[in-house]
Structure 1
Amino acid sequence: MFTGIVEELGEVVGITPTAQDSATVAVRGPLVTSDARHGDSIAVNGVCLTVVEVDGGVFTADVMGETLRRTALGTLRAGDAVNLERAAALNSRLGGHLVQGHVDGVGEVISREPADRWETVRFRLPAALSKYVVEKGSITVDGVSLTVAEVGADWFSVGLIPTTLSLTTLGARTVGDPVNLETDVLAKYVERLLAAKEVTA
């Protein structure tokens, strides 16, 4: 479980294809590897990956073919910056919201509107996910916990403050770039419970 509060900007060192369309990814992140061990979870652009090895500030993780196809990790190249977050500790503050690291779909940047100290950024999202997105609700974009400003049938917008613009990859995303989206898990649980109630009624 994560909070969507990015701890550092890491860098993809390399991606090595393996059998059956899977790959091993190596990521440099001195902070998140400072106490990382084999088997720990680190979110990379919002995707929960399991640490295989740590060596000199670089960790490696295996990525299944399904993950490469269903998230934007499949578009990463060596040298790309990535948002990194270690799994939340039970005694830590919940600064963002509950994030699983399980991507629901891939969105796309469709516009950016700079203001004096922030930017309004609009993202396209798969229409099937729009029912889970509400104004003033939470959404995770490339692992960053954000508050939804507006929402449409297949889009939503957020306001990015200077800290988010400078300390995450969202400051450099351009129109057309793909992003990983995870909707609020609470909305999905409520939907499931209501559906079960209708069946038994």
Structure 2
Amino acid sequence: MFTGIVEELGSIAARDGARLRIAAGRVLEGVGLGDSTAVNGCCLTVVAFDTAEGWWEADVSDETYARTNIGSLEPGDVVNLERPVRLEDRLGGHLVQGHVDAVGEIVDAVPDLRIRIPRELMRYVVEKGSITVDGISLTVVKPLDDGFTVAVIPHTSAVTTLGVKGPGALVNIEVDVMAKYTERLLEGQLAALAASAGATIALPIQES
């Protein structure tokens, strides 16, 4: 579990098939084999590392390459890095699983960031709600028909990849997991009510 507060900017050092090597510094402090680290909001497992040389490696599945922007990364590309949250840490952003829901596209760059996402995710996007973009916890300013806008402050631009990404760039999107749990609970309750009443109850929340 993560918080969406990026700890540092790393870079892709090498890519060899399923193996990805990432140059980093801060996230290597106390690192161990099997630890998790979020790369652009995608949770990856540390399978090798060298703290002296400043790198760690992860094996990336074909599914992850296909469903995230990890597949488009090349050596030299900058990435957002975050270690998992600990129970004693401050929750500076919001609860982030590191499970990417879809890839979005930047329409307008920072500071008035606009991102286009698949319409089926729009039911989880609400004004002033939380959303994760490339591992960054952000607050939605305005939901749109096919995406949303975010006001990005200069500090966030400076310490994350949003400061260097322009229109057309692909970003990983993770919607708020609490919204998905709420939807699932309501589905079960309304289905039970419908069954007991012998009728079908439509869920407006499912419309996209």
TM over 0.5: yes
**Does the CA-based 8 Å contact 1:25-1:62 persist in structure 2?**
yes
Instruction: Report the Cα distance in structure 2 between the residues aligned to 1:126 and 1:95, rounded to whole angstroms.
Output: 27
Please list every run of 5 or more consecutive structure 1 residues that lacks an aligned counterpart in the other structure. Answer: 18-22, 114-118
Residue in 1 that maps onto 2:147: 155
Answer yes or no: is 1:13 the counterpart of 2:13. Answer: yes
The normalised TM-score by structure 2 is 0.90
SS in 2 for 1:98: coil
Match for residue 87 of structure 1 among 84, 87, 100: 84
Residue in 1 that maps onto 2:41: 46
**Does the CA-based 8 Å contact 2:128-2:140 persist in structure 1?**
yes
SS in 1 for 2:27: coil
Which whole-Å deviations, capped at 9, do the CAs of 1:116-153 have from their partners, x for residues lacking one?
xxx11100000000000001000000000000001112
**Does the CA-based 8 Å contact 1:34-1:57 persist in structure 2?**
no
Q: Aligned AA for 2:15?
A: I
Instruction: Report the Cα distance in structure 2 between the residues aligned to 1:175 and 1:107, rounded to whole angstroms.
Output: 11
Instruction: Report the Cα distance in structure 1 between the residues aligned to 2:88 and 2:141, rounded to whole angstroms.
Output: 30
Match for residue 192 of structure 2 among 184, 190, 200: 200
Match for residue 110 of structure 1 among 100, 107, 111: 107
Instruction: Report the Cα distance in structure 1 between the residues aligned to 2:118 and 2:14, rounded to whole angstroms.
Output: 29
Deviation for aligned residue 1:40:
0.4
Answer yes or no: is 1:25 the counterpart of 2:29. Answer: no
Residue in 2 that maps onto 1:20: none
Residue in 1 that maps onto 2:115: 123
SS in 2 for 1:101: coil
Answer yes or no: is 1:145 the counterpart of 2:170. Answer: no
Larger radius of gyration: 2
Deviation for aligned residue 1:200:
1.3
Which whole-Å deviations, capped at 9, do the CAs of 1:69-116 have from their partners, x for residues lacking one?
001100000000000000001110000000000000000000136xxx
Answer yes or no: is 1:167 the counterpart of 2:159. Answer: yes
Q: Aligned AA for 2:159?
A: L
Q: Aligned AA for 1:199?
A: A
Q: Aligned AA for 1:41?
A: S
Q: Aligned AA for 1:107?
A: G
Q: Which runs of 4+ in 1 moved over 6 A?
A: none
Instruction: Report the Cα distance in structure 2 between the residues aligned to 1:126 and 1:57, rounded to whole angstroms.
Output: 37
SS in 1 for 2:12: strand
SS in 2 for 1:32: helix
**Does the CA-based 8 Å contact 2:117-2:146 persist in structure 1?**
yes
Residue in 2 that maps onto 1:2: 2
Identity among equivalent positions (%) equals 53
Deviation for aligned residue 1:16:
0.7
Match for residue 73 of structure 1 among 70, 83, 87: 70
Deviation for aligned residue 1:66:
0.3
The normalised TM-score by structure 1 is 0.94
**Does the CA-based 8 Å contact 2:12-2:20 persist in structure 1?**
yes
Instruction: Report the Cα distance in structure 2 between the residues aligned to 1:88 and 1:29, rounded to whole angstroms.
Output: 18
Aligned length in residues = 191
